[in-house]
């Protein structure tokens, strides 16, 4: 029996020598050390030996089993090292190759337009005032002179949260109330930029989320002439010095009087083209004198104070400036579009 053991250990060691990959090694392990492996069987055979042979056999068979287990571990380790060395050779880094230059990032076209707008208004003394995207129904509608059931609310359907009265803002105008309440009784010159949300069909002309920039000036003796001067100056700075601007009477619940602002079409210089629908004019923003109710809701006495407000869409301005035909490109994350704005 002992001779058989010696033969077994010799055979096993030779077989292990020639097991040179993971698969061969794992086959070796199961054929010698597995549940039905030869070494395991040899240990089990102890029980069937005559009593006097058991001590010597037992000692030797356990020694052998441990030897084979150690040999297996050593071989597994050696194979692993070998694979690592090989990987280093195969994946060697050729340091003489030219590097891959990291591609510089760039600003999103909407951000670029926003910053251009900030710069222009900063020179006119307006500071940026940011307020939250998630607003209360009160600030988004009611305090802006749109009580519940006001028909204008239909134009600005939005996304409602599960908390009653908490919504995603449909315009940056709630910031007007916040700014007035913060600065009262000081005069105010702020622009309110940020993302707005509306529940709308997504088309080439309308998105469910978009940036808006509003402006608000409040003080004593502010008149419609100040409003017109500010807007004409802005239009000429962003679209070019010779631009014509006209004001068309309109209606918004939060301003009185209200106007739409048109500029002569930058594509056809007012001659008429597809973009301006052959009118020669492009609508660029809405504006008006702050409604007395809104001034009051902000804490300013409309008998003593007056103000003007305006609002525009930076994406629409970018579309006009760069001839972008579809507003969906802005949030479509298509690099072919984004990379055009260096
Ligand atoms: Zn035109």
Q: Is the pLDDT of residue 289 over 90?
A: yes
Count the neighbouring beta carbons within 10 Å of the beta carbon of residue 146: 20
Between the CA of residue 120 and those of 69, 125, 214, 233, what are the distances in Å?
A: 79, 9, 13, 9
Q: Which pLDDT score is estimated for 55?
A: 87
| Digit-coded pLDDT (tens) for 194-232 | 999 998 888 888 899 999 999 999 999 999 999 999 999
- Tell how far the Cα of 242 is from the centroid of ligand 1, in angstroms: 15
In which band, very low, low, confident or very high, does the pLDDT at 173 lie, cut at 50, 70 and 90? very high
CA of 282 to the centre of ligand 1 (A): 7
Edge-to-edge strand ranges of the sheet holding 188-197: 127-128, 188-197, 209-219, 306-312, 281-290, 255-264, 245-252
What does the DSSP assignment read for 284-319? EEEEEEEPHHHHHHTT--TTT-EEEEEEE-HHHHHH
pLDDT at 311: 96
CA distance 66 to 72: 10
Q: Which residue has the higher pLDDT, 19 or 155?
A: 19
pLDDT of residue 157: 81
Report for 35-44, 86-95, 238-247: range of highest mean pLDDT: 238-247
Q: What is the dihedral of CA 289, 292, 295, 301, to 10 degrees?
A: 120
State the DSSP string of 37-99.
Answer: -HHHHHHHGGGGS-GGGHHHHHHHHHHHHHHHHHHHHHHHHHHHHHHHHHHHHHT---TTSPP
**Cα 159 from Cα 168, distance rounded (Å):** 6
CA of 259 to the centre of ligand 1 (A): 21
Does this model's pTM top 0.75? My answer is no
CA of 331 to the centre of ligand 1 (A): 26
Rounded distance from Cα 269 to ligand 1 centre (Å): 6
**What pLDDT, on a 0 to 100 scale, did the predictor assign at position 166?**
94
Q: What CA–CA distance (Å, rounded) separates 339 from 148? A: 44
Above 80 in pLDDT, residue 2? Answer: no
Q: At 265, is the pLDDT very low, low, confident or very high (cuts 50, 70, 90)?
A: very high
What's residue 148's pLDDT?
Answer: 85
* Amino acid 53: pLDDT: 85
What confidence category does residue 275 fall into, taking pLDDT thresholds of 50, 70 and 90?
confident
For residues 285 and 251, what is the distance between their CA atoms, to the nearest angstrom? 13
Mean pLDDT, residues 114-121: 96
């Amino acid at each position: 029996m002992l001779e058989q053991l010696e033969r077994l250990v010799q055979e096993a060691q030779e077989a292990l020598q020639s097991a040179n990959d993971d698969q061969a090694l794992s086959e070796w392990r199961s054929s010698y050390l597995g549940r039905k492996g030869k070494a395991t069987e040899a240990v089990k055979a102890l029980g069937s030996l005559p009593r006097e042979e058991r001590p010597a056999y037992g000692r030797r068979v356990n020694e052998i089993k441990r030897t084979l287990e150690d040999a297996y571990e050593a071989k597994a380790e050696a194979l692993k090292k070998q694979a690592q060395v090989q990987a280093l050779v195969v994946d060697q880094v050729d340091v003489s190759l030219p590097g891959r230059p990291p591609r510089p990032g760039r600003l999103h076209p909407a951000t670029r337009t926003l910053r251009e707008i900030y710069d222009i208004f900063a020179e006119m003394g307006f500071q940026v005032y940011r307020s939250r995207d998630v607003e209360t129904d009160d600030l988004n509608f009611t305090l802006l002179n749109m009580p519940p059931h006001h028909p204008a609310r239909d134009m600005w359907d939005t996304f409602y949260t599960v908390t009653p009265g908490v919504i995603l803002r449909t315009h940056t105008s709630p910031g007007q109330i916040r700014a007035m309440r913060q600065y009262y009784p000081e005069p105010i010159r702020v622009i309110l930029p940020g993302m707005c949300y509306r529940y709308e069909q997504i088309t080439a002309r309308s998105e469910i989320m978009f940036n808006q920039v509003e402006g608000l000036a409040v003080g004593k003796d502010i008149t419609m002439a100040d409003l017109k001067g500010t807007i004409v100056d802005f239009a000429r700075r962003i679209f070019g010095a010779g631009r014509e601007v006209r004001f068309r009477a309109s209606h918004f619940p939060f301003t009185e009087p209200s106007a739409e602002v048109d500029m002569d079409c930058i594509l056809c210089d007012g001659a008429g083209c597809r973009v301006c629908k052959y009118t020669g004019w492009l609508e660029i923003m809405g504006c008006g004198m702050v409604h007395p109710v809104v001034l009051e809701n902000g804490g300013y006495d409309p008998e003593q104070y007056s103000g003007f407000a305006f609002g525009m869409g930076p994406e629409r301005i970018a579309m006009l400036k760069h001839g972008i035909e579809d507003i969906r490109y802005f949030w479509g994350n298509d690099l072919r579009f984004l990379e055009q704005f260096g």
